């Protein structure tokens, strides 16, 4: 990195961190209608960030939902065009009582910036904006052409992005997509992510009697209890060893190759350390696979939430009228979320206990995605990390889903490079989410290296 | 009934109903610490009711919990002494949104008085107070001696009543206990209840990882999900036909005799009408028993409430740190709640899935109870109903539990007569609880008949 850039980053560090904290302080919870105004406020804040960084044509695009932010800089005619994708919306912060500091009052402590969205994705998209601003401020130009696409509905499955992209594809056309919304392998263990799991999310609602009933009277024993029915239905979907028992669920799974299994086994992943960190006596899941394999190359079906009846500590002797559960499946190549959803609906239909009615509401769907590990744009990302971190970069997959990755790759017909700067224990969907300041600093330098060398890679491109 | 009493009830009806509404308006929710002051207010309101009705020695007895109200009238030396038990505490009203009118703003509509506690138990204990007041106001005396014991912890299992009774037994000694806290068979279908189920209630808490985790990352598939573990554990306790699969659960059950089965079958209970009322396609439960048998003479294990993770409609892709469920078993003679609890704990210990820790908290326990159906005090109750309702009275059992019934009978060594004036569909633990004004009116007249004739029955007593 040039001395001028280094000096710039150092001189601006406090200003940047303060600005990122203001970004995080906006409670842009896309899944909760009550926060609609905050989403709009956050959209405009994001647009201002792009504008002040030197991006042109900055626009808040109306989609019918939370807006998309666009901005570009297109004055490097010989160089490739990179589409940088990110999102300004965040997950709900609940349970609030588990946060040691309010989720929307970000605070820096022990080298970590705490707050909802600190890693996912405000901190990471902020690195992109500032890495480019630094180039522009210190040299007056950029080594690549860039377009920003920052949406506000990633955490609810990007429902309006696909239709919007389909009708405005030209605006976003690029040679490559770069996204920083994943985790590295660990502290000072940089990693390029070359695969993501897909997702299908749904809600099961079980209805029994028209009203809550006393569990005594003439009812307890005489009518089906919706919680029992739901519990039985959910238990029927997974065996005691963690294998999903929905017919056909694994039929299309492409198992990891021996080479990939070997590569996964070679990663410095410590199951004992994970157990200690999570305070569990043992890890758990499908037999015959390591924890990393289960999390990255095997599909899952997880109950994310369940509610029914009176769950206060004091108890209440009722048979409730309804019970609900939220479930998501993580999918791997070559599973199709719509086919999986159909298999689950079939399973529910054939396993619904008597005496209740079950309603299934599909909530989100995303296809799994893998980029070829030997793609030059992926290999360059590894070099960029190694330059900034001074240590070996790993190639990993991720257990999470970024629905837009597969969508962008398919629509634009270009590869997607996932350069994450989060950490596995950064609590990205839980309480006390944080962003490591070490990754804030090294992330800026990683990206600067990447922009500098991308044109050379592109000149030699042979894919 | 004497003309003077009839005239008295008619002239006082509006005053009585208004007073009962003020009684119901006090939110005496014993299970929620936030309502402690309301419980105290309600205790004093109850004491005032007794005092104004002409009871003597009215006292608010401190127990360390919600107080017990005592009052007596003991000036009929030749007559038996009746202990009238009731409770001024109520169940929580949640879910509030299911009430068509606020639960603590009672309202009369279409011959029904709506409000939490209207039937269970404020309306019914109120009938006792007013039936005796009417005697005293119109004649200056009572045909029997009476003692009132009105507690404030029935809905939380009467935890302080047993120790209090054990140390103050003389004060409550009587020849007979009368309780109105059960339901009749239906509208204008009076019934004496000669048996109650027992109860054991507990809470299961499943703990997994130390914090909520994303269902992606390196976690989804790698660690046990506490909701899955809870669901699997709960499903293991009941088979698909509704039979409880906890080892030894049915071992001590005394099955209904052929005569009792015949008597139950002869009751005008309409399963089709129940289905229609509850809006369910079918009733459900143990094979080989009718709905009434399942509700009255068979034990159950019901999940009353469950909660874990994020259960909002929008979803959240997490593996939660914990999941909880409240469970109660209804027990029949000769099941022992403590033995059943031990069997359940053993079951949970041997069925706990790997990767989680399970905590069981026992909440309440009550033994089942049956009074001999041919006891003269029971038979007189049937005559009293028939006199007031002008129709046949049935002998029934009930699926619910009034923990104090077995306690009072055992400690005082006397029979307990259950003369209920509730209705099966009065929503006593659910939203829109009500008390039928028809039963308000006929209940007063039933009780007056009972007090008048009890001394005669006692003179002839041969038990």
Contacts of B291 in chain A (CB under 8 A): 218, 221-223
Per-residue model confidence as pLDDT tens digits over A303-320: 999 999 999 988 888 999
pLDDT band at A214 (very low <50, low <70, confident <90, very high): confident
| Contact flag B302-A424 (C-beta cutoff 8 Å) | no
**Chain A interface, best mutation among B217, B287, B403, by max A CB count within 10 A:** B217
Cross-chain Cβ contact A228/B217 below 8 Å? no
Query: Which CATH code of 3.40.50.720, 3.40.630.10, 3.10.20.30, 3.40.1280.30 fits the domain covering B3-197+368-459?
Result: 3.40.630.10
Give pLDDT tens digits for B258-282: 877 887 888 988 899 999 999 999 9
What mean pLDDT do residues A441-453 have?
A: 97
Query: Mind giving me the DSSP string for B403-420?
Result: HHHHHHHHHHT--EEEE-
pLDDT tens sequence across A328-354? 999 999 999 999 999 999 999 999 999
Contact B208 A280 (CB under 8 A): yes
Confidence of residue B462 (pLDDT cuts 50, 70, 90): low
Q: What SS3 class is residue B312?
A: coil
- pLDDT over threshold 80, residue A463: no
CB-based contacts of A253-258 (< 8 A; 24+ apart in sequence): A253/A298, A253/A299, A253/A332, A253/A333, A253/A334, A253/A335, A254/A332, A254/A333, A254/A334, A255/A297, A256/A293, A256/A297
Contacts of A298 in chain B (CB under 8 A): 221
Q: What is the distance in angstroms between the Cα of A287 and the nearest Cα belonging to chain B? A: 11
User: In a 3-state reduction of DSSP, which class is residue B214?
Assistant: strand
Q: Which of A356-360, A400-404, B37-41, B391-395 has the lowest mean pLDDT?
A: A400-404
- Chain A residues with CB under 8 Å of B225 CB are 302-303
Range B272-287 burial, b when 16+ CB lie within 10 A, else e: eebbeebebeebbbbe
- What are the extents of the domains in chain A? 3-197+368-459, 198-253+299-363
In the DSSP assignment, the letter for residue A238 is B
Show residues of chain B in contact with A201, CB under 8 Å. 315, 317
Cβ–Cβ below 8 Å for B220 and A295: yes
What is the token pair recorded at B386?
Answer: 């028939």
Distance CA B328, CA B201 (A): 4
pLDDT computed for residue B268 by the predictor? 87
Would you place residue A374 in the very low, low, confident or very high pLDDT band (cuts 50, 70, 90)?
A: confident
- Each residue of A18-40: pLDDT tens digit? 999 999 999 999 999 999 999 99
Q: Tell me whether residues B304 and A215 touch, CB distance under 8 A.
A: yes
Over the stretch B357-405, which tens digit does the pLDDT of each residue have? 999 999 888 899 988 888 899 999 999 999 999 999 998 888 888 888 9
- Per-residue confidence (pLDDT) for residue B258, from 0 to 100: 80
Contact of A376 with A460, CB cutoff 8 Å: yes
pLDDT tens, B58-99?
Answer: 999 999 999 999 999 999 999 999 999 999 999 999 989 999
Name the range with the highest mean pLDDT among A183-197, B125-139, B248-262.
B125-139
Cis peptide before B95 (omega within 30 of 0): yes
Closest CA–CA distance from residue B401 to any residue of chain A (Å): 7
Across the interface, of B227, B300, B354, the residue whose CB is closest to A220 is B300
Q: How many CB pairs under 8 A join A and B?
A: 408
Residue A462 pLDDT level (bands cut at 50, 70, 90): low
Residue B305, H or E segment: strand B300-309
Q: Are B30 and B155 in contact (CB under 8 A)?
A: yes
> Given an 8 Å threshold on Cβ–Cβ distance, is A240 in contact with B234?
no
Residues of A in contact with B307 (CB under 8 A): 306-308, 311
Residues of A in contact with B99 (CB under 8 A): none
How far apart are alpha carbons B316 and A300 in whole angstroms? 15
Nearest alpha carbon to residue A146 among A70, A63, A48 = A70
A241: closest CA of chain B, how far (Å): 9
- State whether B183 and A217 contact (CB < 8 Å): yes
CB pair distance less than 8 Å for A316 and B326:
yes
Tell me the chain B residues in contact with residue A328 when contact means C-beta distances shorter than 8 Å: 215, 315, 317
pLDDT of amino acid B398: 84
Contact: B98, A211; criterion CB under 8 Å: yes
State whether B311 and A323 contact (CB < 8 Å).
no
Percent of chain A with pLDDT over 90: 83
pLDDT of residue A164: 95
Percent of chain A's residues with pLDDT above 70: 99
- pLDDT of residue B337 exceeding 90: yes
- Nearest-by-Cβ selection for B311 from A242, A307, A330: A307
Q: Is the pLDDT of residue B165 over 70?
A: yes
Task: Kindly identify which residue of chain B lies nearest to residue A208, measuring between CA atoms.
Answer: B280
Residue of A nearest to B210 (CA): A278
Report yes or no: B172 and B376 within 8 Å, Cβ to Cβ. no
For domain A198-253+299-363, give its CATH number from 1.10.287.3510, 3.20.20.70, 3.40.1080.10, 3.30.70.360: 3.30.70.360
Residue of A nearest to B202 (CA): A315
pLDDT band at A448 (very low <50, low <70, confident <90, very high): very high
- Say if residues B151 and B87 touch (Cβ distance below 8 Å): yes
Residue B316 has pLDDT above 80, yes or no: yes
Q: Does B315 contact A328 at a Cβ distance shorter than 8 Å?
A: yes
From the list B210, B305, B314, the residue facing A316 with the nearest CB is B305
Q: Give the whole-angstrom CA distance, residue A178 versus residue A404.
A: 12
CA distance A425 to chain B (A): 9
Q: Mind telling me how many Å the CA of B345 is from chain A's nearest CA? A: 18
As a whole number, the mean pLDDT across chain B is 94
Q: Which residues of A touch B398 (CB under 8 A)?
A: 216-217
Q: CB distance A430–B214 less than 8 Å? A: yes
Tell me the percentage of chain B whose pLDDT exceeds 90: 83
pLDDT-derived band at B298, boundaries 50, 70, 90 = very high
Q: Do the Cβ atoms of A303 and B215 come within 8 Å?
A: no
pLDDT at A1: 58
Residues of B in Cβ contact (< 8 Å) with A218 = 183, 269, 274, 291-292, 295-296, 399, 424
Which residues in chain A are contacts of B270 at CB distance < 8 A?
none
> Of A116, A221, A360, which to mutate for an interface test with B (greatest number of B Cβ within 10 Å)?
A221
pLDDT at B1: 58
Cα separation, A92 vs A35, in Å, equals 10
- May I ask the CATH architecture of the domain B211-253+299-364? 2-Layer Sandwich (3.30)
Give the residue from chain A lying closest to B269, CA to CA: A218
**Topology alike, domains B3-197+368-459 and B211-253+299-364:** no
Farthest CA pair distance, chain A: 82
Contact B264, B258 (CB under 8 A): no
Q: Using CB atoms, which residue from B210, B269, B330 is nearest to A278?
A: B210
- In this predicted structure, the answer to whether residue B355 has a pLDDT above a threshold of 80 is yes
Q: Which of A123-132, A323-332, B347-356, B404-413 has the lowest mean pLDDT?
A: B404-413
Residue A442 pLDDT more than 80? yes
Region A380-402: mean pLDDT is 92
pLDDT band at B214 (very low <50, low <70, confident <90, very high): confident
Asked if A312 and B231 come within 8 Å (Cβ–Cβ), the reply is no
């Amino acid at each position: 990195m040039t001395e001028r850039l280094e000096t710039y980053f150092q001189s601006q560090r406090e200003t940047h961190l303060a600005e990122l904290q203001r970004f995080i302080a906006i409670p842009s919870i896309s899944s909760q209608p009550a926060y609609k105004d905050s989403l709009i406020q956050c959209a405009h804040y994001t647009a201002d960030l792009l504008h002040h960084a030197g991006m042109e044509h900055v626009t808040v695009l109306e989609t019918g939902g939370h807006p998309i932010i666009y901005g570009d800089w297109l004055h490097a005619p010989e160089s490739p065009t990179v589409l940088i994708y990110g999102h300004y919306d965040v997950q709900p912060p609940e349970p609030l009582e588990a946060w040691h500091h309010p989720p929307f009052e970000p605070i820096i402590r022990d080298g970590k910036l705490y707050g909802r969205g600190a890693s996912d994705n405000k901190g990471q998209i902020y690195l992109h904006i500032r890495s480019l601003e630094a180039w522009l401020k210190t040299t007056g130009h950029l080594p690549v052409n860039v377009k920003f696409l920052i949406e506000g509905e990633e955490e609810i499955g990007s429902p309006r992005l696909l239709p919007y992209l389909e009708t405005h594809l030209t605006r976003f056309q690029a040679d490559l997509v770069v996204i920083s919304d994943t985790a590295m392998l660990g502290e000072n263990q940089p990693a390029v992510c070359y695969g993501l799991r897909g997702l299908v999310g749904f809600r099961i609602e079980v209805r029994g009697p028209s009203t809550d009933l006393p569990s005594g009277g003439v009812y307890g024993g005489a009518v089906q209890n919706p919680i029992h029915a739901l519990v039985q239905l959910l238990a029927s979907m997974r065996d005691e060893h963690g294998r999903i028992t929905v017919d056909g669920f694994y039929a299309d799974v492409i198992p990891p190759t021996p080479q990939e299994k070997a590569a996964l086994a070679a990663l410095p992943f410590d199951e004992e350390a994970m157990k200690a960190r999570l305070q569990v006596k043992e890890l758990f899941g499908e037999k015959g696979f390591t924890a990393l394999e289960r999390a990255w190359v095997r599909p899952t079906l997880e109950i994310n939430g369940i509610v029914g009846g009176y769950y206060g500590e004091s108890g209440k002797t009722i048979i409730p009228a309804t019970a609900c559960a939220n479930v998501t499946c993580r999918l791997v190549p070559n599973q199709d979320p719509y086919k999986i959803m159909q298999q689950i609906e079939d399973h529910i239909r054939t396993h619904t206990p008597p005496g209740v009615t079950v309603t299934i509401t599909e909530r989100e769907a995303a296809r799994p995605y893998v980029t070829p590990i030997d793609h030059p744009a992926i290999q360059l990302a590894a070099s960029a990390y190694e330059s900034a971190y001074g240590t070996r970069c790993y190639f990993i997959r991720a257990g999470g889903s970024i629905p837009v990755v597969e969508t962008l790759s398919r629509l634009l017909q270009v590869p997607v490079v996932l350069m994450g700067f989060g950490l596995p224990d950064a609590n990205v969907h839980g309480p006390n989410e944080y962003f490591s300041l070490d990754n804030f600093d090294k992330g800026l330098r990683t990206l600067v290296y990447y922009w500098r060398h991308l044109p050379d890679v592109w000149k030699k491109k042979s894919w």
